Amino acid sequence: RIGGSAMGVAKGVETASDGTRVPWGDALLTAVAAVSWALIGMAGTAALGLHLLEADAAGSLGPMTAAVVALGAGGSVTPSGDVSVFGLSGAQADTAIEITPLGVSLVGAVLLSYFFLRSLRAAGVVISSAELLARAGAVVALFVAMLGGLAWAGHDVITIDGGSLGLDDLTGGGGGGGVEIPGLGDVGDIGGLLPDRLGDLVDAQAAVGFTVDTARTLLGGLVWSAGILLVALLASRRTPLPPGWEAVHRVVRPAVSAVVTVSLVAVAAGLSAAGYAAIGDDHPRRIAGAALLGAPNGVWLGVPIGLFVPWDGRATGELTRFLP
């Protein structure tokens, strides 16, 4: 009787793993939990980072948070309004912001992966291809739907007060005699260009709006969430795979797991360096906010540089006239 019971249990597990019945209820509940926690973590990180950077002094924190979360999920934000003070006009002013705050992206990726992988481990030793696709599809579909809500909420107008930028001292209060930069002294008027441009910024009262591009954000969120789930599945060595994926488990998973581990350790080191720098800085809150939003951006750029991989960079546009 013991042998017969064991055979019955094994038969039941095999039937479930063959994909004859997909647990849609459990898949939907898992998707709700994974997407909810991921968006909560992303929104919390974005809001805290913006608050530490004092960005909420120029506009409403809610729409800005929604826009940053959309950017973190691969979306796009379109600015509008009076940007002529920055030397942009006509076609130059019709552009899109596609900078990805990888700090927000990383928090969402970790939470989304954790709940997704936990549900797969609870499914058994082997999972059918149909159940894997159903669980992943539910997570991706719900995540894209929630991004649609963020696109609806992510629009506002930011008022830029040029007098609050602290540039009046840099230009010598509008008088002649060149530019006085602390630590460098008088560097002349640099052809008369820099003082005039900074003077325009000091006198500016620009109202710049931003709107989340719905179509690009939904498409970017679809690709981002699907890519995160794929990387998580390949990096986790304890998560079951469908039958026939043994080569993936033996060959691909160790390499992907090592790359993910190195990336996370590098981010932790970058955050530690930011914390150390904030201790002796006059504006520790700004350093903390910048680290929350963009520490992975700098760290992951530094990893290949440390491996002697060359990078070439260039800057274009009117604002480059202010750069040395």
* Position 40 pLDDT exceeds 90: yes
Best CA proximity match to 221, nearest among 46, 38, 86: 38
User: Of 134-143, 198-207, 236-245, which gets the smallest average pLDDT?
Assistant: 198-207
C-alpha of 132 from chain center: 26
- Give the pair of three-digit tokens for residue 25: 């209820």
User: Of 50-54, 78-82, 228-232, which gets the smallest average pLDDT?
Assistant: 78-82
* Position 140 pLDDT exceeds 50: yes
With cut-offs at 50, 70 and 90, classify the pLDDT of residue 62. Answer: confident
pLDDT at 81: 62
The answer to whether residues 71 and 99 touch, using CB atoms and an 8 Å cutoff, is yes
Rounded to a whole number of angstroms, the CA Rg of the chain reads 25
With cut-offs at 50, 70 and 90, classify the pLDDT of residue 315. Answer: low
What are the phi and psi torsion angles at 308 (to 5°)? 65, 35
pLDDT at 95: 54
* Dist CA 254 CA 302 (whole Å): 23
pLDDT 10s digits, 98-130: 678 899 999 999 999 999 999 998 877 788 888
More confident residue, 90 or 262: 262
Maximal CA-CA distance, the chain = 100
Complete DSSP assignment for 205-230: EEEEEEEE-HHHHHHHHHHHHHHHHH
* Dist CA 140 CA 218 (whole Å): 11
pLDDT at 212: 81
From residue 69, how far is each of 41, 166, 214, 277 by CA, in Å?
10, 29, 13, 26
Per DSSP, helices labelled H in the chain are 2-17, 24-52, 61-72, 102-121, 129-153, 193-202, 214-235, 246-247, 253-279, 284-306
pLDDT at 189: 44
pLDDT 10s digits, 162-213: 444 444 444 444 444 444 444 444 444 444 444 444 444 444 455 667 778 8
* Position 312 pLDDT exceeds 50: yes
Which residues are CB-neighbours of 27 under 8 A, at least 6 positions away?
A: 119, 131, 134, 135, 138
Q: Which residue has the tokens 């691969």?
A: 74
Q: How far apart are the first and last CA of the chain?
A: 83
What are the phi and psi torsion angles at 22 (to 5°)? -95, 125
* Dist CA 128 CA 15 (whole Å): 10
* Dist CA 42 CA 67 (whole Å): 11
pLDDT at 110: 96
State what percent of residues in the chain have pLDDT above 90.
Answer: 31
* Position 22 pLDDT exceeds 60: yes
pLDDT at 311: 77
Over range 47-67, report the average pLDDT.
85
Q: What pTM does this model have?
A: 0.74
- Give the pair of three-digit tokens for residue 60: 């409403």
- Give the pair of three-digit tokens for residue 265: 């350790």
Q: Half-sphere exposure of residue 155, counting CA atoms within 13 Å on the CB side? A: 12
pLDDT at 182: 47
